[in-house]
Each structure stands twice: as structure tokens, then as C-alpha cells.
Amino acid sequence: MTSTTAEGIRGRAAAGDTVVDVDGVSVTFRSRRVSTPALGAVDLRLRRGEFVTIAGPSGCGKSTLLKVVAGLTAPTTGQVRLRGEPVRGPRQDIGFVFQRAALLEWRNVRANILLQAEMRGMDSATARRRCDELVEMTGLTGFEKAMPHELSGGMQQRVSLCRALLHEPDVLLMDEPFGALDALTRERMNTELHRIWRETGVSVLLVTHSVAEAVYLANRVVVMGPRPGTIIEELHVDLPAERDYGETVRHAEFGRVSGRVRELLGSPGGD
């Protein structure tokens, strides 16, 4: 990415300003016979330029919370505001990366990234220029004409990330984006994602089951309890801005925060 583009994003995202407000949001899914509470009353703030990760047990409503923020699921109670405006449906200023890359098999890398531009009616010249910047940033140079089946899982997720960032969203939502990758690839993708976040200044909200991933990536880790999920604790992470993976996982602060997250989740070891 050029410095001009990165500075432009940071110019829109002055540090300390709140970009996402989640106020008393709960979600209950109802059918004819059954009401299933998926998410308890949640209050959460995401500041501009911040990287927040959400950890919690399976089924606690982490993904549901992301979908409410994105405007894909309506809350049963409460409200989400983006830059002070109520979220009442899908937004143009949000990017979303899912666990599966969901690339179109008949489109090459470049065409898959530019699908975002087609859907949003972006200026074609601007979109192509932005696509080139993202391809270079994510290490996809030389693979622009490759088809999805020719790419590894990690490279497919790089394409998905490029697509989500093409329109320069204020907020990037990520739902277990590396959960299907092997451990080594996941570590590399963590390192790349953290670098890309530093370069773009985008505000990120990422859901993960991995304690190590949650702590490595974040400024702040939000821990949720069992369904219906509520936030049981928020932990600030005081690690260096630039993070080598091997050094970071040996850092005392990494150990302190990871230990507390595992304690809250009732998991003394593991990922």
C-alpha cells in the first residue's frame, strides 16, 4: 500500500474516537415452538484504529455479535451504532472476512478481489489501483491470474482479505478467518494480518477460538461466557506495536493475558 493511502485511512480514523457502539444488544432466535437465546445483553466499544479480538466457548454468540454489528442480523434488544448512526442493515463502510474464503471458482484472484467493486459500484480505475496495492501488500504478486483451486488455504484467505479491504472500510469484521488453516500457516497469517492492520489503520473486530491468536493480534481481548453470551471481562494487551510471533509468545505480557483468558474460559492449556 502506498503511504498516501495509509495516511488517508488514518486521517479518517483519529485515535481514541469510538467507531462502533454496541449498547445492550441481545439476540433471541424464535421459531413457532422454540425461542433460543443466542446472545445476552452486550455492551462493547471499538475505537478507531483499534484491534479487538473476541474469545469465548463455542455457541456463545460471538459470530452472532459480528453479524449484528454488520447489519446482517437484527438485535432483539439494544442497538449498534457506527460512527453515531444506528445500524439497520448491511453497511457500505464495513468489510467482512468469514472462516471460509468463499471465492468464486470461475474467477481468478484479481477478478475475485474486484467483485467487491462491481457489487458496490466503485470507480473502476480506483478499484484496479486499490487492488494492485492490496495484492502487493498481501504477498499475492504473481498470482493475480491464478484460480482459487490453484491456491493454498492461506492464499485463499489473503484474497478474501483483499476483497474485504478493497473499498477501504472503516471497520473490518473477521469471523474465525484462519480457523481452517494448519498451525504454521495460521501463525504466518496472524503475522501478516497484524502488519496489514498497522499499515492501513482500519478498526478490526475479530472472533477466534484460539487464545494465542486472540492475544497476539489484539490491543484488547474481550472474553465472553457461555450462551447466551455476555462479556465477562475485557483485557488490555500491552505488547510492542510490531510483533515477531516467536518473540511475542515468549513475552511476559503475552503469558499474563493468555493465562487470564484461559482461566476465564476454564481451559488451563491448549491453543
| Per-residue pLDDT reduced to its tens digit, 154-211 | 999 999 999 999 999 999 999 999 988 889 989 999 999 999 999 989 999 999 999 9
- Give me the pLDDT at residue 268, please: 55
pLDDT for res 5: 39
In a domain, 115, yes or no: no
DSSP state of 189: H
DSSP secondary structure letter of residue 242? S
Amino acid at position 11, single letter: G
| 37 domain residue, yes or no | yes
Residue 27 lies in a domain: yes
**The pLDDT of residue 15:** 44
Sign, CA dihedral 169-175-178-181, equals: negative
Q: Is residue 184 part of a domain?
A: yes
Does the residue 259 lie in any domain? Answer: yes
Residues 6+ apart with CB under 8 A from 226: 56, 57, 59, 60
Question: How many Cβ atoms sit within 10 Å of the Cβ of residue 100?
Answer: 15
Distance of CA 173 to the CA centre of its chain: 4
- Residue 9 pLDDT: 37
pLDDT at 266: 86
Beta-carbon contacts of residue 99 (< 8 Å; ≥ 6 apart): 175, 176, 177, 179, 180
- Measured distance CA(208)–CA(51) in Å, rounded: 13
Q: What is the pLDDT of residue 13?
A: 40
Q: Indicate which CATH number applies to the domain containing 48.
A: 3.40.50.300
Structural domain includes residue 240: yes
Strand partners, 26: 77
What's the total number of domains in the chain?
A: 1
| Ranges under pLDDT 70 in the chain | 1-16, 267-271
Query: What pLDDT was estimated at residue 271?
Result: 58
Structural domain range at position 39: 3-93+169-265
| AA letter at 83 | R
Domain assignment present for residue 235? The answer is yes
Examine residue 251 and state whether it is found in any structural domain, yes or no. yes
> 135: which 3 cell numbers?
495484492
Chain centroid, CA 109 distance in Å: 21
How much is the pTM?
Answer: 0.89
